[in-house]
Amino acid sequence: MIPGGVNSPVRAFRAVGGDPPFIVRGNGPYLWDADGNKYIDYVGSWGPLILGHAPADVVESISRAARNGASFGASTSAEADLAEMIISAFPHIEKIRFVSSGTEATMSAIRLARAYTRRKYIVKFEGCYHGHADALLVKAGSGVATLGIPGSAGVPEEFTQFTLALPFNDHDALEQAFNKFRGQIACVIVEPVVGNMGCVPPERGYLDELREITHRDNALLIFDEVMTGFRVAYGGAQELYGILPDLTTLGKIIGGGLPVGAYGGQSEIMQLVSPLGPVYQAGTLSGNPLAMTAGLTTLRYLRDHKKMIYALLDKLGGELMAGIAAAAKYAGVPICCNRVGSMFTWFFTAGPVTDWDSAAKSDTEAFGNFFRAMLDNGIYLPPSQFEAAFLSAAHTHEDIEQTIAAARQAFAMSAPSIRMKAVR
């Protein structure tokens, strides 16, 4: 009836084994499945639920908007209100266009970059996932990495011949690409904190180099902040690292848990988008009133409580990672803990993990065993070694303590098999 029984590949649990639970309800940091099992959730719908599941204000705002109509295919005041709020948080964005997904946002931003520069080549990074548009399914992360495939069937070579996939955090590869294709690269698109091969932060100075080299070659720099926007800081990774890109793509949190995406940048670039200019992009559900209202309510809450919320997320994240690292060390299980704010990943490798090649050295069998043990103990993690996990402001210190206790048991169970593997 549904291919693989799922509507997104990672949900099938092929990488971790076992049968995926069917979720029926979420509240705060918790999920309940169809069998009545309760879980502490660190997936958060893959990032957007920074306030937790079903926050009262967001639910009420969606209900109120729905009573006025779910979709019009026409302009609403909520679009303008949300645009104004995002622009106030991201200094380089002067104009913004809403779409219905992160895939649409990145696809449209790249089309716009090519039109603005009148160039064909784009640079992306191995292990970074920017949606399932044809030209971007080259050494992509997320489910592509989880399933162990290099790209996707159905994508002709001609569609990817102008995509240059480079190793993340590799300064020399970047210089070589721009020397070889000088004056031909339209843009560099990057997850400033990678979340789709697991959480991988940029090395010190790497984002500065991306900014400098694109500026020098008159190429555009696109920050894909679909995950990081409003999560690693209120103003996203560009606020955290002090880098202003030319274009930004957003999603996840700006819809408050409903389907949404956006791309924005300087007026000079954005005025090329139809109806002002020749770059065509459209969508019946773009700016959907339910998503706009949910996003607006979420961002208002983050804005009004940002000092408290981001400090809490960082504190809880630090406690969680320190506890897990200590539990793994005690059990003799080699792991590498990567975290930026409320994004994190436990890689089952001694590390460090700085790019796709080092992430791919992870023991995915050990991760699968750990995942299943944690699930049995009421902890819901991303069912893939190569996906970031997320905290929400609804998580508590008690949730963190319970998770660390579950990890101690999981490591104790997996340590003998890991040691045997090391001996062989």
Catalytic positions, written as ranges: 129, 224, 252
Please provide the DSSP assignment of 350-403 as one string: SS---SHHHHTTS-HHHHHHHHHHHHHTTEE--SSTTS-EE--TT--HHHHHHH
Sign of CA dihedral 91, 92, 96, 98: negative
Residues 223, 130 contacting (CB under 8 angstroms): no
CA torsion through residues 123, 159, 229, 361, sign: negative
Q: What share of the chain is helix, strand, coil (3-state, %, to 5)?
A: 45, 15, 40
Q: Which residues contact 15 (CB under 8 A, 6 or more apart)?
A: 146, 147, 364, 368, 383, 384, 385
CA distance 113 to 122: 9
Q: Examine residue 334 and say whether the peptide bond preceding it is cis (omega within 30 degrees of 0).
A: no
DSSP states of 36-95 as a string?
--EEEES-GGGTT-TT-BS-HHHHHHHHHHHHT-S--SS--HHHHHHHHHHHHH-TT-SE
Helix (H) or strand (E) holding 309: helix 289-331
Token readout for 103 is 């895939």
- For 219, phi then psi, to 5°, come to -95, 160
- What are the backbone angles phi and psi of residue 288, rounded to the nearest 5°? -50, 130
Please, is 110 exposed, middle or buried when counting C-beta atoms within 10 Å of its C-beta (0-12, 13-18, 19+)?
A: buried
Give dist(CA 395, CA 403) in Å, integer: 11
368-384 burial, b at 16+ Cβ within 10 Å, e below that, comes to bbbbbbbbebebbbbbb
Six-digit token string for 367: 């991760």
Q: Tokens in use for 420?
A: 């045997």
8-state DSSP, 302: H
